[in-house]
Amino acid sequence: MPASSGAVTVRAVRRQDLEQVVALDARVTGLEKRAYWERVYRRYGHAQRGEQRLFLVAVAGSEVVGFVIGEVRDWEFGSPPCGWVFAIDVDPRVRQAGIGTRLLTALCDAMRSAGVRQLRTLLSADNTLILSFFRSQGMMAAPMIPLGMEMPPATGRSRS
């Protein structure tokens, strides 16, 4: 349990939170992705009103114990504006304390105030932990078909 496991506040990320977000993600995934998180922070941590990008953190005292990131996307493939969650995580030491629910609720509230009525996400089929969390929040299979393909490495020549 984090030393500062008292009251939890959900708020917009700040630059000084980034180090703890990187560390939390590394603890959970086993991979240190500092450059990735710097890019995410530049895109989502500086979002202006109207850009509809959100990067929220859950903080207990001065410790980041969770985060959620999402955005509103308009008219992709004919879909009316909808909210997308692309990252959510909670420190394993404080899971089952409602922090993930609070983060997702705060994200949904912000999106709802922007007129969004649908929330979507994509996840790996073998990630049963996050699948269980999203299902517990009322999410279910959407009427969409995710498609993907393997791409060979670039050959160094550009196509003209």
Q: Is residue 63 pLDDT above 50, yes or no?
A: yes
* Alpha carbons 104 and 70: distance in angstroms, whole number: 10
Asked, for residue 61, whether it belongs to a domain, the answer is: yes
Give the sign of the dihedral formed by CA 12, CA 14, CA 18, CA 21: negative
Q: Are 38 and 18 in contact (CB under 8 A)?
A: yes
Identify residue 37 by its one-letter amino acid code: W
pLDDT at residue 3 in the model: 45
Instruction: Name the residue among 32, 148, 10 with its Cα closest to residue 90.
Output: 10
In this predicted model, what pLDDT tens digit does every residue of 18-60 receive, in sequence order?
999 999 999 999 999 999 999 999 999 876 655 689 999 999 9
Rounded Cα distance, 77 and 62, in Å: 41
Q: Is 87 among the domain residues?
A: yes
At 112-150, the pLDDT tens digits run 988 899 999 999 989 999 999 999 999 999 888 888 999
Do the domain assignments include residue 156? Answer: no
Residue 73 included in any domain: yes
Domain count, the chain: 1
| Average pLDDT over all residues of the chain | 89
DSSP state of 75: S
- The pLDDT assigned to 126 comes to 93
pLDDT at position 4:
46
- What pTM was estimated for this model as a whole? 0.86
pLDDT tens column, 68-111? 999 998 877 777 889 999 999 999 999 999 999 999 999 999 99
| The predicted structure's pLDDT at residue 1 | 43
Residue 49 is predicted with a pLDDT of 58
Query: Is 75 among the domain residues?
Result: yes
Could you tell me the CATH number of the domain that includes residue 30? 3.40.630.30
The domain in which residue 122 lies consists of 8-136
* Tokens matching residue 47: 């979002």
pLDDT in the model for residue 159? 58
Residue 54 domain flag: yes
Percent of the chain with pLDDT over 70: 91
